[in-house]
Structure 1
C-alpha cells in the first residue's frame, strides 16, 4: 500500500513516546503501518516506524513485524539513518537484521555510517561495517568519508575502527582536506584537546601525510596552529611537518598562532609558539614585535618566548603605551621586566643561550639530547618560561 499521512494526535503521541500498548492497539495486522507523520514548525518529519531516536525498541519491533517498510524515507532519512544519528545500537541491530540497507543514501547525501558522530555511536558503526557498509564511501556534497567525520569530531575509537577496516588516509573531501587536515582544522574547547591529540596521533602513526595541503594550501600544521593545539603541533613537528611553509594567504604556522593567541588563552598558545621556534620557525621581524605585543599582550608567556628568541630587542616607550593598564596590573612583574629592557642589556646567561641556539640552528633538538646537560639547563635552552625577562 502507498503510505498515507497520519494526522491522528493519539497515534502520533503513541509513536513519539514509545507507548508499546498504544502502538499495539493502533497497529494491528490489518492496519496500515507505513504512515507519514508531518510535524509542524522546525521539527523533523517522522514516519510511524521511524522510532530509532525517540521511542522504544519494542515499538519498532512491533511495527516491523506488522510489515513496516524498513527503508522507507519520506523525510529524506531512513530509520537506520535516524538510529545511527541517535546512537541507538539496539535499534540499529534490529533494523539491520530486518534487512535495512547499510548503504542507503539520505536526501542530504549521507550513508548511515556518516551519521555516527558521537562517542556512543561506536557500536552502531561496528554493526554497519559487519553488514557491508563501505568505510570509504563519501558524502555527496562534502565528499567526506567516515574517517573524515570521525576525525572532525575527535572520535578515537571510530578512527581506530575505520583504519582497521581499510579507511583511506589520504582521501580528500570537497575542500581538499584529508582526515588529518579535518581533525586539525576542527575548533574545540581545551577539555577536548586530548581526544583530538589521540585522533591525530593514530592518523600520523598510521602513515598520514603531515604536509598534505588542502585547496588553500593549508597544511595540518597551519590548521592546528589556528586552533592553538599545542600537543598536535608538537606531534606534527616531531614527524617532519614543514615549519616555515606558507599557505595561499602567505601565512606560516607562526603567523596563524599569533593571530589567535589572545582568543585561545585556555589552550596555552605560548606552547605552540615555543614548539615552532624550537623546530626552526622563522622569527618575527623585530620591527613588527610591537604590533605582536599589541595583539598578544594578554598572553605574556607568548611575548616572553618571542623576546627570548632574540639576543637583543630595542624596547622603547612606545612599548609601554601598547599594553593596556589592566593587562600590566594583571602581570606586573613580567611587564616591568619587559619595559626595563629599554634601559639595560640582557643577561649574560641569556646571551649565551642565544649564541648556542644560533650555532645549533636547524639541529637544536637533535643535538641537545647528546650533550647530557642538566635538565634545568636543557629546558632553559629550549626557552622554558620564567614569567620575567632578564
Structure 2
C-alpha cells in the first residue's frame, strides 16, 4: 500500500542536503577508484594544482566548459595558461538513458553520466586549434577517464585533422576502450577513410578484434557498406575469412546488414570487392546461413546475382531448413521497394527447386481443396 507523509520545509531541506552529500561521496569514491588520486574540486582552472598541474582534477566551472564545447580558442587560451591544470575531469550527460533510484526511493529515467576531459571535448568536435593548444600545454594524450581516449573520440566524430594531430603527439592507435573497441573499430562512416589511413600508417593492427562481437575492422567496414574502407583494409592485409562471434565472415556481414533501396549499389560494390579478392561465397555462419541466404533476406538482387554467378549453392539449406528461395519469399511483403521479384527470377534461373519433395503432397492437397470450393481440410 502506498503511504505518504507530510514534510516541513526544514525537513525537506535536510533531506536535500543529505542527498547532495551522498552524491558528493559517491562521486569522490568514483574518482579515487578510477584514477588513484585524491579527489579535489577545481572551480576556476587558473587556481592550478597543489602538486602538479598535470594531475587530473575535477572541473565544474561552466565558463571553462562553455569555452571547450564551443571551441572558443581565445577563451581556451585564457583559461589554460602554461601554469594551469590541464588534465581536468568533467562530468557530462551521455547519450544513453538508464533507470536510477536517487530521490526518496523513487526510480527515474536519466541520462547516464559520463566523464570526459578538455582533450576529449575538443577532439570529438573537431576543434583542431584548441586541441593543439591543450597538447602543447602538456595534456596527457592517452588519458581515458570515461573509458576511451581522445583518439577514440576523434575517430568516431570523425575528424581527420584531430586524429593526425593526436597521433603526432603519441596517441596510442591500439588503445582499447572500456567497451573493447580500438580507434580503428570506430571508423564507421564514409568520411572516416583518412582516419583509417592515419591509424594504419601509425601501426594500428588491421586484424585486431572487438572484445564482445569479435569483429575485425573489415567486418565493420563491410557491415556499413564502406567500399573505400574495405579496399584500404585489404591492401593492409585484412583477413577475408576471419569469423566473428556469430560465425560471420566480412562477406556474410555485408550480405546480412539490412539496407535501404538507395544503398543497394553500395553494398553490391562491397560484396563484389570481397568476392573478387577471394572471399568464400559459401561460408556459413553459426546458423548455417550462407551469403546467398542473407542477401535474399535483404532482397538485394545484384548481390544474389553476383553470388550465383560465382557458383553459390542455390539450394543449400540453413539451420532452419530454409533455402535462399524460402528467405526471399518470406521477405517479399516488407521488401517491395527492393524489387524482390528480381531475386526470385535470379534464383529460378540458377535452378532453385520450386517445390521440395516433402511439400509435394501438401501442394496437391491444397490444389484439391481449391477445386472443391475451398472447403476441404488438409
Q: Same fold (TM over 0.5)?
A: yes
What is the match of residue 213 of structure 2?
142
Distance 1:319 1:139, change over 3 A: farther
Unaligned 5+ runs, structure 2: 1-53, 94-110
Give the aligned partner of residue 276 of structure 1. Answer: 347
Residues 150-229 of structure 1 correspond to what in structure 2 (within 5 A)?
150-229=221-300
More strand by share: 2
The residue aligned with 1:84 is 155
Q: Secondary structure at the match of 1:215?
A: coil
Could you say which residue in structure 2 is the equivalent of 1:11?
A: 64
Query: Following the alignment from structure 1 to structure 2, what is the Cα–Cα distance between the partners of residues 275 and 320?
Result: 33
Tell me, yes or no, if the aligned pair for 1:16 and 1:55 is still in contact at 8 Å.
Answer: no
Deviation at 1:316, TM superposition (A): 4.1
Q: Which residue of 1 aligns with 2:327?
A: 256
CA contact (8 A) 2:174 2:205 kept: yes
Mapped to 1, the partners of 2:238 and 2:328 lie a distance apart of: 31
Does 2:118 align with 1:48? yes
CA distance in 1, matches of 2:68, 2:363: 64
Higher alpha-carbon deviation: 31-40 or 204-213: 31-40
Contact 2:206 2:237 in 1 (8 A): yes
Structure 1 counterpart of 2:143: 72
Aligned residues: 301
Given candidates 299, 308, 322, the residue that maps to 1:237 is 308
Q: Once the two structures are superposed, what CA deviation does each residue of 1:133-175 show, in whole Å capped at 9, x if it has no partner?
A: 1100111111100000000000000000001111000000010
- Mapped to 2, the partners of 1:241 and 1:92 lie a distance apart of 41
- Is structure 2 residue 103 aligned with structure 1 residue 32? no
Q: For 1:336-385, what per-residue CA distance to the aligned partner results, in whole angstroms no more than 9, with x for missing partners?
A: xxxxxxxxxxxxxxxxxxxxxxxxxxxxxxxxxxxxxxxxxxxxxxxxxx
1:50-98 Cα distance to aligned partner (Å, 9 max, x none): 1212251100000000000001111111110010111100000000001
Cα offset for 1:268? 0.5
For residues 15 and 290 of structure 1, the distance between their equivalents in structure 2, rounded to whole angstroms, comes to 73
* Aligned 8 A contact 1:15 1:55 in 2: no
Kept in 1: contact 2:82–2:137 (CA 8 A): yes
* Partner secondary structure for residue 175 of structure 1: coil
Note closer, same or farther for the CA distance 1:275–1:314 as it changes in structure 2 (3 Å cut): farther
Question: Matched residues in 1 for 2:148 and 2:200: separation?
Answer: 19
What residue in structure 2 maps to residue 265 of structure 1? Answer: 336
The residue aligned with 2:34 is: none
Structure 1 portions without partners, runs of 5+: 293-312, 322-390
Alpha-carbon distance change, 320 to 183 in structure 1, aligned in 2, over 3 angstroms = farther
Pairwise CA distance, 1:286? 6.4
TM-score by length of 2: 0.76
- Relative to the length of structure 1, the TM-score reads 0.74
